[in-house]
Amino acid sequence: MDNHTSEFILLEFSKVLDLQVMYVALFLILYLMTVTGNLLIITAVGFDYHLHTPMYFFVMNLAMQDIGSVSVIVPKAVLNSLMNIRHISYSGCVAQVLFFVFFLGSDVALLTVMAYDRYVAICNPLQYEMIMNRKACSMMVGSVWIASFLSATLHTIETFTTPFCSNIINQFYCEIPHLLKIACSDRYINEIGVLVFNAILGFGCFVFIVITYVKIFSAVLRIPSVQGREKAFSTCLPHLTVFSIFLFTVSFAYLRPTSNRPSHLDFIITILYSIIPPMLNPLIYSMRNKDLKATLSKLLWLSVLRKPGHHYADDDDDVKFESFPE
C-alpha cells in the first residue's frame, strides 16, 4: 500500500456488544462533561466584563483548546461505533493528526504561560499590571496558537510523506505512533526525531512549571492567613498533578515502541492524556472560583442586573486581579 490509499481502518472499542455499548456511553459522558464545562467557562468569561482579566483570558483560551482536542477524536470514534464501521478517510486521518497535535501542543504551551501568570501575580504583584498587560497577553496567546499550528503541520507532513504498508491502525483514532508502525519506509525516522524534540520541549515546560510553583509555594508560605495558604495550595497542586499525568502519559504513548496488536494499556494511556485533562481543567482552574460561579449563577437564572451594593469578587482571595491594563 502507498500514500494513495483512500482510507484507514481504526480499532473498534470491543467485539462484544455489551462492552461496546459501555464504551460508547462512557465516551459520550466524558465528552459531554468536557464540552459542557468548558463552554460554561467561555460563556461566563465572555458575558461578564469583571472576568476580563489576564487569568480568565488564558482560562478561556484553554477551554477552547480543550473542546477542540476532544472534538477531534471522540465524535468520530463514537459515530463509528454506533454505525458499526471502522474506517476513516485518508484526508480525515490527516485532519485528525493535524488538529489533535495542534490542540495538544497548544495546551502544553498555554499551561506554561498560565503558570508564569500566577508567578507574576503572587511573587511580583506590584509589577503585575505592567508585565501582564493586554498587549503582552495577546502576544503570548497568539504565539502559542501560531507555534503549535506550525509544529502540528510539521508533524503531519513528516507522518504522511511516508508510504504505508498497511491501512490498519491499532487505535480508535489516527495516533502518530500507530501510523508510524505501519510505515514501510525509513523516512519515518524524521518524524521520530521531531517527536523526541517536542518531548524535550514538553519536559522543559514541565521543569519551568515546577520551578515556578516552587517559587509560588515559597511566597504563599509567607502569607499570614492560613485560609489564603490553603487556597493557593489547593489551586496549584491539582494543576501540577493533572499536568504531570498529561505530560508523562503523552510522552509514554508517543515515545515508547508500539505493539503489533491492540493493547489495553495503549487504550488507557490514550484516555489519560487525551480526555481526562480537558475534562478536569474546568474544575481545577475555574469552577472552584467564586467569581466564576457567581457569573454562571447569573447566566443560569437569567439575572442580568446586579443587586445594589453587591461586591462582585471573591472575598477570600489573597491576590486580586484587575481588568486588563491598557
Tens-place pLDDT, residues 74-132: 999 999 988 888 899 999 999 999 999 999 999 999 999 998 998 998 888 888 989 99
In a domain, 309, yes or no: no
- Give the type of residue at 103: F
Q: Please give the pLDDT value at position 319.
A: 38
Residue 164: strand pairing partners = 183
Q: Please give the pLDDT value at position 194.
A: 82
More confident residue, 206 or 299: 206
Mean of all residue pLDDT scores within the chain: 82
Predicted confidence band at 303 (pLDDT cuts at 50, 70, 90)?
Answer: very low
pTM: 0.84
| Number of domains within the chain | 1
Q: 209-215 contacts: CB < 8 A, separation 24 or more?
A: 209/111, 209/112, 209/115, 209/239, 209/240, 209/243, 210/240, 212/115, 212/116, 212/118, 212/119, 213/115, 213/118, 213/119, 213/239, 213/240, 215/119, 215/123
**Contact (Cβ atoms closer than 8 angstroms) between residue 31 and residue 74:** yes
**Contact (Cβ atoms closer than 8 angstroms) between residue 3 and residue 163:** yes
In a domain, 1, yes or no: no
Handedness of CA 189, 190, 194, 196 (dihedral sign): positive
Domain region containing 157 = 7-300
In a domain, 325, yes or no: no
Reported as a single tens digit per residue, the pLDDT across 24-66 is 999 999 999 999 989 988 988 888 888 888 888 998 999 999 9
In a domain, 324, yes or no: no
In a domain, 28, yes or no: yes
The CATH number for 50's domain is 1.20.1070.10
In a domain, 243, yes or no: yes
Q: Does 310 have pLDDT greater than 60?
A: no
Nearest to 58 by CA among 99, 123, 119: 119
Q: Which residue has the cell 445594589?
A: 308
